[in-house]
Structure 1
Amino acid sequence: MSAPIVPVLPDTLALAVEILNEGGLVAMPTETVYGLAADASNPEAVVRLYEAKGRPRFNPLIAHVSGLPMAMREAVFSPLATSLA
Structure 2
Amino acid sequence: METIIKKITHTEEDKKIYEQAGQILRAGGLVAFPTETVYGLGADALDAKASAKIYAAKGRPSDNPLIVHIADVNALYDLASEVPEKALVLAEKFWPGPLTMILKKQDKVPDSITGGLGTVAIRMPSHPVAAEL
TM-score between both structures, scaled by the size of structure 2: 0.56
Q: Secondary structure at the match of 2:69?
A: coil
Alignment partner, residue 84 of structure 2:
82
Measure how far apart 1:67 and its partner are.
2.6
Structure with more helix by fraction: 1
CA distance 1:71–1:11, change in 2 (3 Å): same
Alignment partner, residue 73 of structure 2:
68
Measure how far apart 1:68 and its partner are.
2.9
Q: Secondary structure at the match of 1:68?
A: coil
Alignment partner, residue 35 of structure 1:
40
Partner amino acid, structure 2, of 1:82: P
Structure with more strand by fraction: 2
Partners of 2:71 and 2:37 in 1: CA distance: 20
Q: Name whichever of 55-64 and 29-38 sits farther off.
A: 29-38
Q: Name whichever of 38-47 and 28-37 sits farther off.
A: 28-37
Partners of 2:53 and 2:69 in 1: CA distance: 17
Partner amino acid, structure 2, of 1:4: I
Measure how far apart 1:2 and its partner are.
4.4
Partners of 2:27 and 2:52 in 1: CA distance: 14
Listed one character per residue, the Cα deviations across residues 3-42 of structure 1 (whole Å, up to 9, x for unaligned) are: 0111121111110000000000001122343110100011
TM-score between both structures, scaled by the size of structure 1: 0.84
Alignment partner, residue 46 of structure 1:
51
Ranges of 4+ aligned residues in structure 1 off by more than 6 Å? none
Identity across the alignment (%): 41
Q: How many residues align?
A: 82
Higher relative contact order (CA 8 A, sep 6+): 2
